[in-house]
């Protein structure tokens, strides 16, 4: 299951793929990123020049950390800080599996599997406290020197 969340821990979109599908495949589908724009923080597995260019044309800026054998790229300090907060998605996955109980290995039918997934996602959306990122920017009139 691939999910996209915002900084408040709310699920914006999700898709379900088979285990043998590449993790980058859902990002290439138009429907998955239909209403998503802005910055998308991902892990090193999503690195790809073609994918980054395709997403950038659609209004999504894909930000990933750099692999060991790659050249460094310039990144703003706020992007570096938010890139370190990717663990929030793992916390959301943990809440979905343990609190909302979407991980079940012995479904008798495909319909039962889908009902269990959808019910877990709905239950997650009603949780009073979701994992989130407290991110605030301060706008000043001061001139920054580099």
**131 part of a folded domain:** no
pLDDT single digits (tens) 72-120: 666 777 777 777 777 788 888 888 888 888 887 777 888 888 888 999 9
pTM above 0.85, yes or no: no
**139 part of a folded domain:** no
What b/e readout covers 18-49, taking b as 16+ CB neighbours within 10 angstroms? eeeeeeeebbeeeebbeebeeebbbeeebbee
pLDDT at 133: 81
Confidence of residue 137 (pLDDT cuts 50, 70, 90): low
- Count of structural domains, the chain: 1
**130 part of a folded domain:** no
Name the residue range of residue 15's domain.
Answer: 2-125
Q: Cα–Cα distance between 40 and 61 in angstroms, integer?
A: 6
17: pLDDT strictly greater than 90: no
| Residue 60 neighbours by CB under 8 Å, 6+ apart | 33, 36, 37, 38, 39, 40
pLDDT at 144: 62
**144 part of a folded domain:** no
pLDDT single digits (tens) 120-129: 999 999 999 8
pLDDT single digits (tens) 28-62: 777 777 778 888 887 766 777 777 778 888 888 87
């Amino acid at each position: 299951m691939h999910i996209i969340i915002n900084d408040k821990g709310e699920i914006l979109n999700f898709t379900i793929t088979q285990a043998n599908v590449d993790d980058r495949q859902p990002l290439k589908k138009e429907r998955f990123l239909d209403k998503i724009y802005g910055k998308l923080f991902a892990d090193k597995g999503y690195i790809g020049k073609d994918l980054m260019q395709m997403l950038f044309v659609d209004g999504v800026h894909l930000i990933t950390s750099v692999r060991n054998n790659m050249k460094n790229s310039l990144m703003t300090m706020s992007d570096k800080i938010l890139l370190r907060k990717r663990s929030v998605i793992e916390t959301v996955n943990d809440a979905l599996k343990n609190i909302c109980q979407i991980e079940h290995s012995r479904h008798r039918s495909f319909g039962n599997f889908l009902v269990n997934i959808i019910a877990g996602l709905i239950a997650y959306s009603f949780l009073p406290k979701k994992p989130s990122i407290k991110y605030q920017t301060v706008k000043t009139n001061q001139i920054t020197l580099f």
